Amino acid sequence: MAIGEELRSGRFWQEVLAEAVATLIFTGVVLGASTAPGPLVPAVAGGLVAVTLTCALGAPQANPALTLALLCTRKLRALRGAAVLLAQCAGAVLAATAARLALPDDAGMITRVSAIGTAGQALCWEIFATFQLALAAFATTNHAAVPAGLTLGSAIIAGALAAGPFSGGSMNPARSLGPAIVTGVWDNHWVYWVGPVLGAVLAGLCYEFIFAPGASWEKLGACLTCRDVAVVETTTPSPSSPSTAPPSAARAPPASQGQGMA
């Protein structure tokens, strides 16, 4: 689809708006829950709102790390990816602005490296937590029998509880960016971009080229050399795939579906 045609598409702007609204709601819920002591309440709140948004808006990404993973695996076009990223960041900033006005103390809004660890340890936990979330998000597109909302919500809760004591369990650059902008606190902010993005991209590459139906070395080579991955999927057998599903089962989801939130 040409750029001009895509920009005139109502579907394009509907998906961009869905990403902004979903990120605003997700970030607002998590920030509100972050006023409670400990990682349990925000973790559960994040998981529950992910389930709700999956039902209401068709599982928007609401997470720049997942969007970049889709771009790296050739599941999302560059124009749509750029628009979605801007929408996600805008939604998170709006949510953080409202939260700062509503909450008595904005200290809990900011994701910080724990005093018991280092920035390097926080980075490793963010990579790990986002890896398992993104792996679940990619896998839900090929397993229709598995409820996507429940899977993604569980992955968010698990990741937040595991990484929370060390990094705050963000797994979402937008969720960390919004509070940083409205409060002006940027301590170790790079951790919350490098960690989630690296974890999500690694998970996307692992799933698409190792575990997914239709995965093959030829498909990986096509992605790395900027060839059409879809053509390779339909013309090449997939001996490396653990599933017997046909290549068509590895279809790319729409930008607003099946890739979850964090």
Check pLDDT > 60 for residue 68: yes
State how far the Cα of 250 lies from the Cα of 174, in Å rounded to an integer. 28
Section 34-50 average pLDDT: 92
Check pLDDT > 90 for residue 237: no
Distance of CA 174 to the CA centre of its chain: 10
Section 199-223 average pLDDT: 84
What type of residue sits at position 41?
Answer: V
State how far the Cα of 206 lies from the Cα of 210, in Å rounded to an integer. 5
State how far the Cα of 13 lies from the Cα of 161, in Å rounded to an integer. 35
- Predicted structure pTM score: 0.84
Domains and CATH numbers, the chain: 8-234 (1.20.1080.10)
C-alpha dist (Å) from residue 38 to 26, 94, 210, 262: 19, 25, 37, 18
pLDDT at position 235? 55
The percentage of residues in the chain with a pLDDT greater than 90, rounded to a whole number, is 61
Task: Specify whether the backbone of 226 is left (phi greater than 0), alpha (psi in -120 to 50) or beta.
Answer: left
State how far the Cα of 249 lies from the Cα of 254, in Å rounded to an integer. 14
| Residue from 200, 149, 206 nearest 170 by CA | 200
Question: Any idea what DSSP says for residue 187?
Answer: T
Instruction: Give the model confidence (pLDDT) of 111-165 as tens digits.
Output: 999 988 899 999 999 999 999 999 999 998 877 767 889 999 999 999 999 999 9
Check pLDDT > 80 for residue 205: yes
State how far the Cα of 149 lies from the Cα of 222, in Å rounded to an integer. 31
Which has more pLDDT, 56 or 195? 195
Check pLDDT > 60 for residue 72: yes
Question: Any idea what DSSP says for residue 249?
Answer: G
* pLDDT, averaged across the chain: 85
Which has more pLDDT, 253 or 1? 1
pLDDT at position 59? 76
State how far the Cα of 47 lies from the Cα of 41, in Å rounded to an integer. 10
C-alpha dist (Å) from residue 192 to 113, 154, 205, 255: 10, 21, 20, 23
Residue ranges in the chain assigned as alpha helix (H): 3-7, 10-33, 40-57, 64-72, 78-102, 119-140, 148-167, 173-183, 191-206, 217-224, 229-235
The percentage of residues in the chain with a pLDDT greater than 70, rounded to a whole number, is 81
